[in-house]
Amino acid sequence: MDTDIVILGSGVSGIQSALKCSAFADVVILTKDKMTESNTFYAQGGLAAVFGKDDSKEQHVLDTLRAGDGISNKKIASIIANGSPYAVMELSKIGVNFNKNNDGKFKLSREAVHSRARIVHSSDMTGREIEMSISKAARNNKRIKIMEHHMVLDLITKNNKCFGCIVLDLQNKRIFPIFARKTVIATGGIGQVYKITTNPAVATGDGIAIALRQDVILEDMEFMQFHPTMMHNSNPSFLISETLRGEGGLLKNSSGKTYMGKYHRDGELAPRDVVSRFSVIEMKKTRSKNVYLDMTNLDSSYLKKRFPNIYNECLRYGIDMSKDSIPVSPAAHYICGGIKTDSYGKTSMENLYAVGECACTQLHGADRLASNSMTEGLVIASRMSKIIRNRIKKAKLEKVEVVIPILSAAGNGRISALRASFRNIMWEDVGIIKSRKSLMRAMKKMMRIEEKIEKIKKDGTNKDVQELDNMITVAKTIIVASLRRKESRGTHFMEDYPERHDSIWRVHLTIDKRYLESKWKN
């Protein structure tokens, strides 16, 4: 199969890339589940964008830098802040219904580290509203071909140049190549690497893993963001949006006492890494498995109107959030690092681009500012389409020899057990609070799992095998990067090195295939 541009992923970044590129090229979107199954669909908060009278793009940049704990890229932050209003207006034109005031202007909410209310939202289902609207636009676009239930197994490369990808058709059980002049990775996050996560089942880090295997450079992989408030014991996992704390919600321990005020001047609206870490400390102090989010200081009718989805989900668990505190605990949420790109989504490999959570522009630094992620994805996708438009005319559709892997149905039972063990290791030893000892322990355990998966792979591959292999690859980069950074910064907290050291570590750490293999073996 041939196309001009193949896009791997169907979240906001992938679909926006497709919509933009369809103006000048034929586009194929690949997604391993149904089109709307992505992190975007489950996003509750909204888009950080400057619309308020008391706000400015300069202040948005400053807030981004503050959240990033010293290593966010100011130039990238400026690009995103400047592009944010246009990104929101484009979505409005597509048909996304954002909440508005009586005067027709966007309603704006506030989240952690934001010094102003600047979150454009659609109640507490912003991601769903965006995903459904842009998916509809893509389906109605004649130049976009959507291939659901197709999983990318590998990139087709030669001499640091990308020619497309190898794809597994999950419904018809066949593997085939897609050749393209440009390839865009927009596969989203890696949350499933951890036992407890806000991410859906599809978030297994596929794009990051296949890029690394072809020696594409990664960056900032030690910075995994944990969201402080996932509903405890929810199944499937259910995020309690940060906006609730922005509206006045208070975190309390199992003794009913508030605690964030004694740890940080911003209290409940401190950076996510701070709130998550001290929530864990409070849980250990009180020997409990969760803390509580108290919204009872707000009016019942307001809560129902502002947070209809969260309110109803809480009721499903027997919790009336206007009367009862919500049991919450931290969960793996967002990878701040990923495939290293410039401000146009260009990677270290020719003809290969990356955008969204799987990419690293250095915007997020050591900790992502709330609601900056979808904004970044939209802005970078727009910039990327412009540079692809200029370059695609000169790019030939080339074909190289491809080795098609063997498809196997074996090993699923063993894979399930290995996957559960692996995710538990990552949660226990490579989680919110790390140490050299815990990381080395995780590495040794991971090596044993890796040996077992390699034996299973000899019989061929399938979705389960490929996903676990991808997750292990991503986990290895997190462990190696975490061991390398001998300090604590943002989401990366090391018990051995609890302080931040700008004189040495105010840098971005990169990882390629060769470096990972050399450090993993030794």
Distance from CA of residue 236 to its chain's centroid? 18
- Residue 99: how many CA atoms within 13 Å on its side-chain side? 18
Instruction: Give the CA radius of gyration of the chain.
Output: 22
C-beta of residue 321 within 8 angstroms of C-beta of residue 303: yes
Burial class from Cβ neighbours inside 10 Å (0-12, 13-18, 19+) for residue 92 reads: middle
Q: Which residues contact residue 492 at a Cβ distance below 8 angstroms, ignoring those fewer than 6 apart?
A: 222, 223, 366, 434, 482, 485
Q: With H, G, I as helix, E, B as strand and everything else as coil, classify residue 516.
A: helix
Which residues pair with residue 231 across a beta bridge? 328
- Among residues 110, 181, 272, 423, the one annotated as catalytic is 272
Active site residue 506: no
Closest CA to 149 of 136, 164, 163, 168: 168
Contact 60, 118 (CB under 8 A): yes
Is-contact 370 112, C-beta < 8 A?
yes
DSSP class per residue in 194-247: SSSBSS-TT-S-HHHHHHHHTT--EE-TT-EEEEEEEETT-SS--B--THHHHT
Please list the active-site residues: 272
